[in-house]
Chain A
Amino acid sequence: MDAIILQILNGLDKGSAYALIALGLTLIFGTLGVVNFAHGALFMIGAFCAVTFSKLLTLSHIVIDDTQKDFLGNPLKVEVPYIYDFFGQTTGDAIIDWAVPLSIIFCIPIMIAIGFIMERGLIKHFYKRPHADQILVTFGLAIVLQEVIKYFYGANPIPTPAPEVFAGSFDFGAMMGFAENTIIYPYWRLVYFAFAAVIIGAVFAFLQFTTFGMVVRAGMADRETVGLLGINIDKRFTIMFGIAAAVAGLAGVMYAPINSPNYHMGMDFLVLSFVVVVVGGMGSLPGAVLAGFLLGILESFASMSAVLEFLPGINQIIIYLVAIIILLTRPRGLMGRKGVMEE
Chain B
Amino acid sequence: MFGLDKKDAGLLLIVAILALAAPFILNPFPEGSAMAQFNAGYPDLMQRLVIFGIFAIGFNILFGLTGYLSFGHAAFLGVGSYAAIWMMKLLTMNVIPAIIVSVMIAGLFSLLVGWISLRRSGIYFSILTLAFAQMSYALAYSVLTPITGGETGLQPKYTDPRILDGALPDGQMPRANLFGLDMKDGFELVMGNWVFTFNAGYYIAAVVMLLSFYISIRIFRSPFGMMLRAVKSNQQRMNYTGLNTKPYTLAAFVISGMYAGLAGGLLVAMDTQVGAERMFWTASGEVVLMTILGGAGTLIGPVLGAGFIKYMENIVSKINKTVLEQWFAFMPDGIEDVMVALVYPFVGKGWHLTLGLLFMLVVIFLPGGLVEGGQRIGNLFRSKKAKDTSPDGSKTPAE
Contacts and interface: CB of A to CB of B under 8 A. Distances in A.
B138 A317 contact: yes
A323 B67 contact: no
Interface in A131-180: 131-133, 135-137, 139-144, 147-148, 151
A278 B124 contact: yes
Contacts of B282: 267
Contacts of B350: 147, 151
A234 to B, nearest CB: 20
Contacts, number: 106
Given A316-B138, A327-B120, A331-B120, A135 B126 contact: yes
Interface stretch (B20-28, B128-136, B201-209): B128-136
A328 to B, nearest CB: 6
B123 A35 contact: yes
Contact of B345 (A133, A136, A151): A151
B324 interface: no
A136 B127 contact: no
Nearest to B69: A132
A220 to B, nearest CB: 18
A323 B116 CA distance: 12
Contact of A328 (B116, B121, B130, B359): B116
A235 interface: no
Given A132-B67, A271-B134, A341 B124 contact: yes
Contact of A140 (B119, B123, B134, B360): B360
B132 A137 contact: no
B54 interface: no
A319 B387 CA distance: 61
A129 B363 CA distance: 10
A125 interface: yes
Nearest to B351: A147
Interface string A299-343: 000000000000011001100110110011001000000000111
A278 B71 CA distance: 15
B123 A143 contact: no
A275 interface: yes
A131 B360 CA distance: 15
B143 interface: yes
A298 interface: no
A71 to B, nearest CB: 39
A274 interface: yes
B123 A131 contact: yes
Contacts of A21: none
A135 B69 contact: yes
Contacts of B130: 271, 274-275
Q: Is the interface of B mostly helix, strand, loop or mixed?
A: helix
B312 interface: no
Interface string B41-84: 00000000000000000000000000101000000000000000
A282 interface: yes
Contact of A327 (B124, B141, B143): B124
Nearest to B143: A313
Nearest to A311: B143
Contacts of B131: 275, 320, 323-324
Nearest to A147: B353
Interface in B339-368: 345, 350, 352-353, 355-357, 359-360, 363-364, 367
A316 B134 CA distance: 9
A321 B353 contact: no
Contacts of B138: 313, 316-317, 320
Contacts of A133: 363, 367
B118 to A, nearest CB: 11
Contacts of B292: 136
A321 B135 contact: yes
Contacts of B158: none
A262 B85 CA distance: 34
Interface string B279-322: 00110010010001000000000000000000000000000000
Contacts of A142: 356
A143 B359 contact: yes
A148 B350 CA distance: 9
B73 to A, nearest CB: 15
Contacts of A137: 360, 363-364
Nearest to A35: B123
Contacts of A135: 69, 123, 126
A140 to B, nearest CB: 4
Contacts of A143: 352-353, 355-356, 359
Interface string A252-278: 000000000000000100010011001
Contacts of A271: 130, 134, 281
Contacts of A342: 122
Given A125-B364, A133-B367, A324-B132, A275 B127 contact: yes
Contact of A324 (B121, B128, B352, B356): B128
A257 B226 CA distance: 55
Contacts of A144: 353, 356-357, 360
A270 to B, nearest CB: 10
A317 B134 CA distance: 8
A202 to B, nearest CB: 28
Contacts of B143: 312-313, 316
A341 B122 contact: yes
B124 A148 contact: no
B331 to A, nearest CB: 24
A274 B126 CA distance: 10
The 6 closest A-B pairs by CB, nearest first: A313-B143, A143-B356, A316-B138, A147-B353, A140-B360, A320-B131
Interface of A: 35, 122, 125, 129, 131-133, 135-137, 139-144, 147-148, 151, 267, 271, 274-275, 278, 282, 312-313, 316-317, 320-321, 323-324, 327-328, 331, 341-343
6 contacts: A143-B353, A144-B353, A144-B360, A313-B144, A316-B139, A317-B134
Given A135-B123, A143-B352, 10 more contacts: A136-B359, A136-B363, A148-B353, A267-B282, A313-B142, A316-B135, A316-B138, A320-B138, A328-B116, A328-B120
